[in-house]
């Protein structure tokens, strides 16, 4: 594969399957999964580098100050109905010009990646209905009614049809993970 479209960016509302698709592209199709750095607490079953680099707020602020991030964002959340702020970002050292990647980002992150790698990017929005998203949240064991309802409202703003059409190359409306992966591979082949 040449450098054209060798960074696949997956966008979508929370619990739309972005990480699942990213891991399939990594495991079965030779993509390198870009590991983001976050300040959010580690969840059961996770470890360093799987799926994030976990750092504290001070270390994350140092990455910002030293301009070591391609993109970063602040994520306002509720944990047991207590407001919290988590930071997520991708370090510049994660991207090699000679490798192909899959990255999970929001629209702001996609815009920032475009500043650095526009010619290399193919972006995809995973369009999944709210009930399926809720079911997935429950299945992975991190469902909280207040937080989920907050996400629904936030996701509607962040992923409005106008924002998606202005920033994302392709929208995928199937829930079958194998169909999603096949569609992505057909587009970038």
Amino acid 2: pLDDT? 44
Helical (H) or strand (E) element with 74: strand 69-79
pTM score, whole prediction: 0.85
Other CB atoms within a 10 A radius of the CB of residue 23 amount to: 17
* Helix or strand holding residue 70 (H, E): strand 69-79
147: its two tokens? 């937080």
Nearest to 88 by CA among 18, 163, 164: 18
User: What is the model's pLDDT at position 65?
Assistant: 98
Which of 18-22, 24-28, 134-138, 183-187 is the least confident region?
134-138
- Return d(Cα 32, Cα 103) in angstroms, integer: 9
pLDDT of 1 over the 60 cut: no
Between 89 and 154, name the one with better pLDDT. Answer: 89
CA distance 59 to 117: 26
Q: In angstroms, what CA-CA distances link 157 with 28, 67, 164?
A: 34, 28, 11
**According to the model, what pLDDT value does residue 154 have?**
87
Give the closest residue to 51 by CA, choosing from 78, 18, 84, 74.
Answer: 18
Rounded CA-CA distance 4/18 in Å is 22
The alpha helices in the chain, defined as continuous H runs, are 18-29, 57-65, 107-117, 130-140, 145-158, 161-167, 177-188
The residue written with tokens 């495991």 in the block is: 27
DSSP strand pairing (101-104 vs 7-12): parallel
Residue 5 pLDDT? 65
Residues 6+ apart with CB under 8 A from 153: none
- Structural domains in the chain, sorted by start: 7-188 (3.40.50.300)
């Amino acid at each position: 594969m040449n450098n054209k479209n060798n960074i696949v960016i997956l966008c979508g509302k929370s619990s739309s399957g972005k990480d699942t698709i990213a891991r399939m592209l990594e495991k079965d199709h030779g993509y390198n999964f870009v590991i983001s750095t976050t300040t959010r607490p580690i969840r059961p079953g996770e470890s360093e580098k799987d799926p994030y680099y976990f750092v504290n707020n001070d270390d994350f602020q140092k990455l910002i100050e030293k301009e070591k991030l391609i993109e970063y964002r602040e994520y306002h959340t509720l944990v047991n109905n207590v407001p919290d702020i988590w930071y997520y970002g991708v370090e510049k050292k994660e991207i090699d010009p000679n490798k192909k990647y899959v990255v999970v980002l929001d629209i702001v992150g996609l815009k920032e990646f475009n500043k650095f790698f526009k010619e290399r990017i193919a972006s995809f929005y995973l369009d999944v209905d709210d009930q399926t998203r809720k079911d997935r949240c429950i299945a992975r064991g991190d469902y909280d009614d207040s937080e989920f309802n907050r996400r629904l409202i936030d996701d509607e703003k962040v992923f409005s049809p106008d924002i998606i059409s202005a920033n994302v190359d392709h929208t995928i409306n199937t829930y079958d993970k194998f169909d999603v992966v096949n569609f992505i591979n057909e587009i970038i082949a």
